[in-house]
Amino acid sequence: MSIQNTLLALTTCIDGGADSLEFDVQMTMDGVPVLFHDNEMSALTSGAGSIAEHTWDWIRGKRYLLADDTAYDGVGIPALAEVLAYIQHTQCRFYPEIKNYRTPADIDAYVSAIQEAGLSALCCWQSFIPSDLERVRELDASCEVGFLSSSADQASLEALADQASQHLPASLLLKTTSVSTQPGIVGYARARGVDVGVWTVDMRAQRQQMERLGVTRLMCDLNVRG
């Protein structure tokens, strides 16, 4: 068992052979960026409410559900700074998703944290909201921006690739099923300087299919090597 967005889960991925990390970033009430996926803390932890409704001191005391008697027993929600310290050591590529924020100005703090850690060149900021990524690009010319989409419509994906091409370096980060049903988007995007990655690959057959289509950026919950 692993618990997403914990430092233990991320280090375990790298130790297991992953070459990149993906995680979600949210802002606490008192302005501390932390890693957490869900809108409600009760989905995964002993806490309740959203990350933005609580202080870092309160959040750091909460523990994950179902972690008793596992390696995650006692593990808490990590601050972004903790994870960046690990990435400075490993120098792995990473994909932070802009998940929630109090105001768009919080994005500035997210980007500043990466810049101050000297990690812009390893970072691909992700968001489903293009304006978030446009703001990132204004703040940092060195990082990559990843345009997330769950659409499987070729015209919509082409329009997104066109938009991404205005903010290079950039990529489309799409559902695996979107690429399998619209494989032409890979060539369309790359012709415009935009790479393509997929989520979520959980089976070796999916990995092999994506690699046949030329997609090598694979976001996985499980080890699909071999």
- Over 90: is that where the pLDDT of 6 sits? yes
Cα 106 from Cα 220, distance rounded (Å)? 28
Q: What is the mean pLDDT of the chain?
A: 97
- Note the pLDDT tens digit of each residue in 51-81: 999 999 999 999 999 999 999 999 999 999 9
- Note the pLDDT tens digit of each residue in 30-47: 999 999 999 999 999 999
Cα 33 from Cα 14, distance rounded (Å)? 22
What is the model's pLDDT at position 226?
60
Strand order in the sheet with 124-127: 33-35, 20-27, 93-98, 124-127, 144-149, 170-175, 194-199, 217-219
What is the model's pLDDT at position 222?
80
- Over 70: is that where the pLDDT of 184 sits? yes
- Over 90: is that where the pLDDT of 139 sits? yes
The end-to-end CA distance of the chain, in Å, is 20
- What mean pLDDT is predicted for residues 130-149? 99
Instruction: Name the burial class of residue 157, with classes exposed (0-12), middle (13-18) and buried (19+) by CB atoms within 10 angstroms of its CB.
Output: buried
What pTM was computed for the model?
0.96
Token digits for 38? 């869900």
CB 159 within 8 A of CB 142: no
Sign of torsion over alpha carbons 134, 139, 142, 146: negative
∠ CA 37-38-39, rounded to 5°: 130
